[in-house]
Structure 1
Amino acid sequence: MSTHQHFAEFALSLLDRTRPVVAQYFRKDIPIEIKSDASPVTLCDKAVEAEIRAALAETFPDHGIFGEEHGKTALDAKYVWVIDPIDGTRAFITGVPLFGTLVALLEDGKPILGMIDTPALGETWLGVDGTTSFNGQPCKTRQRALKDAAIFTTTPDLYKGENQRRWLAVQNAVQTVRYGTDCYAAGLVASGLADGMIEVGIQPYDVLALVNVIEGAGGKVTDWSGRPLGIDGDGTLLAAGTPELHAELLALLA
Structure 2
Amino acid sequence: MLPNAPLAELEDFARFAHMLADAADAITLPMFRKPVAIDNKEADQGTFDPVTLADQNAEKAIRALIEEHFPSHGILGEEFGQKKTDSPYEWILDPIDGTRSFISGVPMWGTLIGLTFEGKAVFGLNSQPHIGERFWGYGRACLYQGPRETYGQLTTSKQTDLSQALAGSTAPEIFKTPSDIANFEHIKDNVRLMRYGCDCYFYCLLAAGTLDLVFETDLNAYDIAALVPIVEGAGGVVTNWAGEPIIFDDNLGKTTVLATANKTLHKKALSLLSV
TM range (shorter): over 0.9
The residue correspondences of 1:11-90 to structure 2 (distance < 5 A) are 11-36=17-42, 38-74=48-84, 76-90=86-100
TM-score (norm 1): 0.97
| Alignment partners' CA distance in 2, 1:170 and 1:16 | 37
| Alignment partners' CA distance in 1, 2:184 and 2:223 | 20
| Alignment partners' CA distance in 2, 1:7 and 1:52 | 13
The equivalent of 1:112 in structure 2 is: 122
Matched-pair contact (CA < 8 Å) for 1:46–1:69:
yes
| Alignment partners' CA distance in 1, 2:16 and 2:10 | 10
The equivalent of 2:167 in structure 1 is: 151
1:6 aligns with 2:12: yes
The equivalent of 2:215 in structure 1 is: 198
| Alignment partners' CA distance in 1, 2:139 and 2:236 | 14
The equivalent of 2:228 in structure 1 is: 211
| Alignment partners' CA distance in 2, 1:198 and 1:147 | 15
Alignment RMSD (CA, Å): 1.3
Matched-pair contact (CA < 8 Å) for 1:68–1:85:
yes
Change in 2 beyond 3 A, CA 1:75/1:179: farther
Deviation at 1:244, TM superposition (A): 1.0
Aligned to 1:96, the other structure's residue is in SS state coil
| Alignment partners' CA distance in 2, 1:129 and 1:251 | 25
Aligned to 1:125, the other structure's residue is in SS state strand
| Alignment partners' CA distance in 2, 1:209 and 1:39 | 21
Instruction: Please list every run of 5 or more consecutive structure 1 residues that lacks an aligned counterpart in the other structure.
Output: none
| Alignment partners' CA distance in 2, 1:211 and 1:89 | 20
Identity of aligned pairs, percent? Answer: 39
Deviation at 1:75, TM superposition (A): 5.4
Tell me the matched-pair count. Answer: 254
Aligned partner of 2:263: which letter?
A: P
TM-score (norm 2): 0.89
> Which stretches of structure 1, 4 residues or more, deviate above 6 A after TM superposition?
none
Higher deviation after alignment, 183-192 or 67-76: 67-76
Aligned to 2:272, the other structure's residue is in SS state helix
Aligned partner of 1:141: which letter?
A: T
| 2:153 corresponds to which of 116, 132, 138 | 138
Deviation at 1:38, TM superposition (A): 2.9
| Alignment partners' CA distance in 2, 1:241 and 1:93 | 31
Matched-pair contact (CA < 8 Å) for 1:85–1:100:
yes
Deviation at 1:227, TM superposition (A): 1.3
Change in 2 beyond 3 A, CA 1:215/1:33: same
1:189 aligns with 2:206: yes
| Alignment partners' CA distance in 2, 1:70 and 1:146 | 40
Deviation at 1:230, TM superposition (A): 2.5
